[in-house]
Chains A and B, each alone.
Chain A
């Protein structure tokens, strides 16, 4: 995993509430055994007509979405299925952060483990971001702040350990493996 310090990008706005992981990547694309290439199928049912042609007015098909790394979405983003294909698809497409007022638990965990920043902001900031699509936003992970255009930076919550892993480009498995002695002790105390 690559270390992340700051993300600086224009936003794409999808204001819908409760965007579930079935929308982010529909179930029929989960019969894959790798993580690569899922960006093609990101939001497939909103993005493509039945014959595969792009739906012109869907935001990701519009020229202004080109190169955007930050997705601002309505409340309760990522609810539903535990499929990690959802953050894989967002990352493969090119997103590096998602911003909402509420992000579902499993999706948030899955995002953090892959280097997709799940950012929860206050209502006022969220409303402003929804009303101003395409603004430039800077996310600073060290200070855990998000600055939208020239507004005052706002801080966002992030678990200390997840932040450490993201800032240093290390994954959590290494930490768990380093606890081998403790795990062995637990196993021997709970054997049989």
Chain B
């Protein structure tokens, strides 16, 4: 009998082109390389300098999302893109893709969107694949049982040129989530609680596998929200074993296998589970039934409290003290009293159709509080079309929200969608770092439900009040 293996070990070993030696790391084959305008220009430049080609254009897919405008007139109306350097970067990606024969879902393409949203939508994200992108939230694709992780631009160049990466094998970390999430508690709350427990560097050097009864009940969009934020605990990748929910999501997607190839693929995917008796390097268990809606109060995603709770008092801890100064919050204050100036619903964490539906359920029949800006940015053009077909955009606009074209937008403010200095933003995105959403911006991370409820009341609000 063979040794029991984890899901990660199965995917890893199936992709070893050259195993590790005492002197060299393993050479790992990459099945899907997603690329975008911000972290690829210098990689294409390396190819040009060395006279190299893209080895597997058929396994490479480019889109633009990070620095792209979200205003319709700039995307479709021919109005100039506000930031010159962003416009230049977009043109550079168009030129690079044309020169190297890489498929590009460009600015006006109906399939464009945030790279981690369109991979699953198109069905190119599949169980058992190795998937990389020059973006740390590539961990999102692990929701399908893929080994997916973010890389730097030099490594983008390596994959373009060789379809391979040199990698040191990470360790494995099981996150067992048992029990049932209470009503009104979302996967975003669960992952924030996990990061709070593991810490922002607790996952460094590991690949997470999310397991347990609570995970099995989640749909694919919810699983993506969980895996998306693995990197916020330091783990480059987070995986969930594929099951019937995964296959159901992928079936008939444009680029999923069809006919006999589909049956064969599903058959192979069923083996992508951690064997009974396989051992993880680390393991923790979380009781889902004990959770509440969660919200961050500090300047990293691990600084998180239940929404009914208070900002803790850890005066004397320099990280805490600096966060209090930056956030302008007081130790011991109720987080529900915190003011809100801006609310952002979107990003690769919470920019899918189910996230927009959740926000709409709360917002329906309500108005955004005076002085609060609500920005809702769909994760892809497909999400935008679906939302408009269901009339969600009408609910958003009636509430006073700004409804845009897809992109990363205010998650990192590269395209000019920013939060002003000193303003408080309740955001469904993934990072509350200093300055992330704009110089001096103060970010509180939460679920779409909490974001919507907070927009209505103009202060941090428990979304269960709107249930």
Contacts and interface: CB of A to CB of B under 8 A. Distances in A.
B25 interface: yes
A23 interface: yes
A26 B319 contact: no
Interface string A18-34: 10101100111011111
A106 B150 contact: yes
Interface in B407-422: 412-414, 421
Contacts of A110: 152-155
Nearest to B431: A80
B336 interface: no
Interface string A107-146: 0011001100000000000000000000000000000000
A179 B152 contact: no
A79 B201 contact: yes
B125 interface: no
Interface in B421-467: 421, 431, 433-436, 439-440
B214 interface: no
Contact of A79 (B22, B153, B200): B200
Interface in B31-85: 38-39, 41-42, 45-46, 50, 52, 55, 66-67, 83, 85
A83 B157 CA distance: 14
A79 B199 CA distance: 12
B366 interface: no
Contact of B201 (A15, A104, A171, A182): A104
Nearest to B236: A105
Contacts of B155: 109-110, 113
Interface stretch (A54-62, A148-156, A158-166): A158-166
A175 B24 contact: yes
Contacts of B162: 173, 176-177, 179-180, 183
Given A23-B435, A105-B236, A179 B27 contact: yes
Q: How large is the interface on A (under 10, 10 to 19, 20 to 34, 35 or more residues)?
A: 35 or more
Contacts of A187: 29, 163
B42 A76 contact: no
Contacts of A82: 39, 134-136, 150-152
B300 interface: yes
A107 B37 CA distance: 20
Contacts of A161: 23-25, 166
Contacts of B27: 176, 179, 182-183
B166 A45 contact: no
Interface string B188-210: 00000000000011001100000
Interface stretch (B86-94, B269-277, B308-316): B86-94
Interface string B117-147: 0000000000000000011100000000000
A91 to B, nearest CB: 12
Q: Is the interface of B mostly helix, strand, loop or mixed?
A: loop
B17 A84 contact: no
B279 interface: no
A81 B136 contact: yes
A22 B301 CA distance: 14
Contacts of B165: 176
Given A22-B433, A76-B234, A82-B152, A175 B300 contact: no
Interface in A167-181: 171-173, 175-177, 179-180
A31 B88 contact: yes
B68 to A, nearest CB: 11
Contacts of A105: 170, 204-205, 234, 236
Given A80-B433, A159-B168, A183 B17 contact: yes
Interface string B237-279: 0000000000000000000000000000000000000000000
B27 to A, nearest CB: 6
A83 B412 CA distance: 12
Given A45-B440, A80-B231, 9 more contacts: A22-B434, A27-B436, A30-B67, A31-B85, A75-B201, A173-B154, A176-B27, A176-B161, A177-B162
30 contacts: A20-B300, A22-B412, A22-B436, A27-B436, A30-B414, A31-B89, A32-B89, A45-B439, A79-B201, A79-B300, A84-B39, A84-B154, A102-B204, A106-B151, A106-B231, A109-B152, A110-B152, A110-B153, A113-B152, A161-B24, A172-B166, A173-B46, A173-B50, A176-B27, A176-B166, A179-B18, A183-B27, A183-B29, A183-B163, A186-B29
8 closest residue pairs by CB, A with B? A110-B152, A31-B85, A33-B41, A84-B152, A82-B150, A76-B201, A113-B154, A82-B136
